[in-house]
Amino acid sequence: MDEHAPSATPGFELGNLLLIVVGAHLRAEVADRPLAYRLSQRVKKWLKAHDDRMNVSLMPVVCSDIWYVNQRDLQSLPTVSVGGPEVNALSAYFANKLPTAWVRDNHMLVQLDPEYVDLRVCVWGADHRLTVAAVDVFCEQYLEGYLRAVATQVEPTEG
């Protein structure tokens, strides 16, 4: 394993991470990274509210698509990719691998396994405003079920 990988950092348990991945593209850094941190805060709030019923300690971590694709150990972790395929390589990769759970006018998508067996998610819109709206839909309609599945440590499917 790479000495710079998260599990080599004190306090990190690789198996307890929930990754929120944004593109390394400048537009993604400016627009999608703050949105990913907002999603991370929402996850932390949910975790705190359910802490007494959790048997694992989950930690949301925002990282870039470059880090994710170059660290094989990360690719089996629960992952939410935020931002469109033109600025996020992971979203481009997930585009034809994940089922579409919600779509509006082919301009906003939430892609995920509705059974939550595969814990990879892709959320994006055709522009920043629509990506924000798609993340809101994910949070309102899917986040609760997704986090419950993550908390039970259902393994994502490789592929």
The CATH number linked to 108 is 3.30.379
Handedness of CA 92, 95, 101, 105 (dihedral sign): positive
User: In the chain, how many domains are there?
Assistant: 1
pTM of the model: 0.89
157 domain-assigned: no
Domain boundaries, position 99: 6-151
1 domain-assigned: no
Q: Which residues contact 93 (CB under 8 A, 6 or more apart)?
A: 69
Q: 98, 113 in Cβ contact below 8 A?
A: yes
Helices (H) and strands (E) in the chain, counts: 6, 6
159 domain-assigned: no
62 domain-assigned: yes
Q: 86, 126 in Cβ contact below 8 A?
A: no
71 domain-assigned: yes
pLDDT score at 156:
42
CA distances from 10 to 3, 14, 79 (A): 12, 11, 21
| Secondary structure class of 108 (helix, strand, coil) | strand
The pLDDT-based confidence of 52 (bands split at 50, 70, 90) is confident
Report d(CA 53, CA 39) in Å as an integer: 21
Question: Among residues of the chain, what percentage have pLDDT more than 90?
Answer: 78
Strands 108-111 and 79-82: unpaired
Q: What is the mean pLDDT of residues 140-156?
A: 84
Question: Among residues of the chain, what percentage have pLDDT more than 70?
Answer: 88
pLDDT score at 157:
44
Q: 16, 6 in Cβ contact below 8 A?
A: no
The pLDDT-based confidence of 14 (bands split at 50, 70, 90) is confident
Does pLDDT of 4 surpass 70?
no
Does pLDDT of 1 surpass 50?
no
